[in-house]
Amino acid sequence: MSKQEIIICKDLDDSLSQAVNRCSHDRLFILTDTHTHNLCMPVLSGISALDSAIEITIGAEDVHKNIETLASVWQTLSEKGATRHSLLINLGGGMVTDLGGFAAATFKRGIPYINIPTTLLSMVDAAVGGKTGINFNGLKNEIGAFAPAVYVLLETEFLRTLDSHNFFSGYAEMLKHGLISDYEHLNELLAFDTEHIDYARLKELVARSVQVKEHIVEQDPHEHGIRKALNLGHTVGHAFESLALMENRPVLHGYAVAWGLVCELYLSHVQTGFPREEMRNVVQFVKENYGTFIFDCKQYDTLYGLMQHDKKNTAGVINFTLLHGVGDICLNQTADRETIFETLDFYRECMGC
């Protein structure tokens, strides 16, 4: 997998113009959703490198991250004369960069693309690392491919438009990066004033968070080894997310990851000796900022079944990434059904379900 170039923008116009000009192309397309069409496309107006760009707008939110939307993007690319030498810019959150990246990876067997993530979640997670895909058959990111963007442009000024829920959705992935890196980064994330955001400081934290992920992806682009560290919180988190979709009460991805971190830090404490005090610090942060995903013991079997469908599994054995300590990663961990149910008990007790 080719290495993508990540640019922390000082001037978006200049960075984007240079990126577009370095990608030789015959036609230029920009993928937005209804939110980023209204809020973010105006920021790109006046950039001469985009004068001939054709905009494709899709529905917003994760409910549109499906094969029907993907097919509509392919259809528009085809109707508007896209070739294998065309260039696609994905302007949006994780749904847009995931779906747009997969559209680019598959149209004409692959065209180059640029990601401009506009949410905190997409900046520190979805837009970086080359994973693309769509939801299918009720399961998150069931269909996809490893296909990195040529460039990822990070402009944190877009974050000023985020509401609190979308801010915290992205911040959960940053917490995960803190947990798999070192105490210093984790503690600065736990101490950051999320009520009165210092955007200059946030830019520094985003750059550090992206650096953590980029370093891991460079070592293991196709997730055969250390890249599995990035799955911390996601085995249970994806099950929460899928259950929420099944019950028509969708939740933001980062919230599901935050709740998944509560469960998997407890599992880490029980199985690999993660310190109780560090677990409590993170659990308290999640409890104060993310609310609670409500479920009861009657749904344990459903959640267990959803975990069994996770892409990280082998032969139906549920695979977890756990921690012995902050930055001390334990890959390819398993747990029996009873222990997983005990973990769900812990979640409901400490989160007040």
Report the predicted TM-score, pTM, of the whole model to 2 decimal places: 0.90
Question: Which one, of 116, 120, 143, lies nearest residue 131 by Cα?
Answer: 143
User: pLDDT tens-digit profile of 143-168?
Assistant: 999 999 999 999 999 999 899 999 99
Averaged pLDDT, 41-66: 94
Residues 84 and 182 in one domain: no
CB of 99 closer than 8 Å to CB of 65 = yes
- Amino acid identity at 298: K
pLDDT band at 309 (very low <50, low <70, confident <90, very high): confident
pLDDT above 60: residue 89: yes
Residues 192 and 109 in one domain: no
Residues 29 and 64 in one domain: yes
Residues 210 and 111 in one domain: no
Averaged pLDDT, 100-111: 98
Token code pair at residue 84: 């294998």
Domain with residue 175: its CATH number is 1.20.1090.10
User: pLDDT tens-digit profile of 208-226?
Assistant: 999 999 999 999 988 889 9
pLDDT above 60: residue 1: no
Residues 47 and 59 in one domain: yes
Q: For the chain, report the end-to-end CA distance as a whole number of angstroms.
A: 43
- Amino acid identity at 286: V
Which residues are bridge partners to 330 per DSSP?
322
Q: How far apart are CA 324 and CA 326, in angstroms?
A: 7
Averaged pLDDT, 104-120: 97
197 DSSP 8-state letter: -
Residues 48 and 147 in one domain: yes
pLDDT of residue 2: 61
Residues 217 and 339 in one domain: yes
User: pLDDT tens-digit profile of 180-202?
Assistant: 999 999 999 999 999 999 999 99
Residues 135 and 169 in one domain: no
Residues 257 and 302 in one domain: yes
From 161, 184, 214, the end of a domain falls on 161
Give me the domain span that covers residue 104. Answer: 5-161
CA 243 to chain centre: 18
Residues 251 and 132 in one domain: no
From 136, 161, 186, the end of a domain falls on 161
From 161, 178, 194, the end of a domain falls on 161
Residues 261 and 325 in one domain: yes
Residues 98 and 181 in one domain: no
Averaged pLDDT, 278-298: 97
Token code pair at residue 293: 């995903």
CB of 59 closer than 8 Å to CB of 99 = no
Q: Any idea what the Cα angle at residue 291 is, between residues 286 and 292, rounded to 5°?
A: 100
Question: Which one, of 221, 227, 62, 61, lies nearest residue 139 by Cα?
Answer: 62
Total domain count for the chain? Answer: 2
Q: Where are the alpha helices (DSSP H) in the chain?
A: 12-22, 34-39, 41-44, 67-79, 94-106, 120-121, 164-179, 183-191, 199-219, 234-246, 253-272, 276-290, 300-308, 337-351
Averaged pLDDT, 93-102: 96
Domain with residue 134: its CATH number is 3.40.50.1970
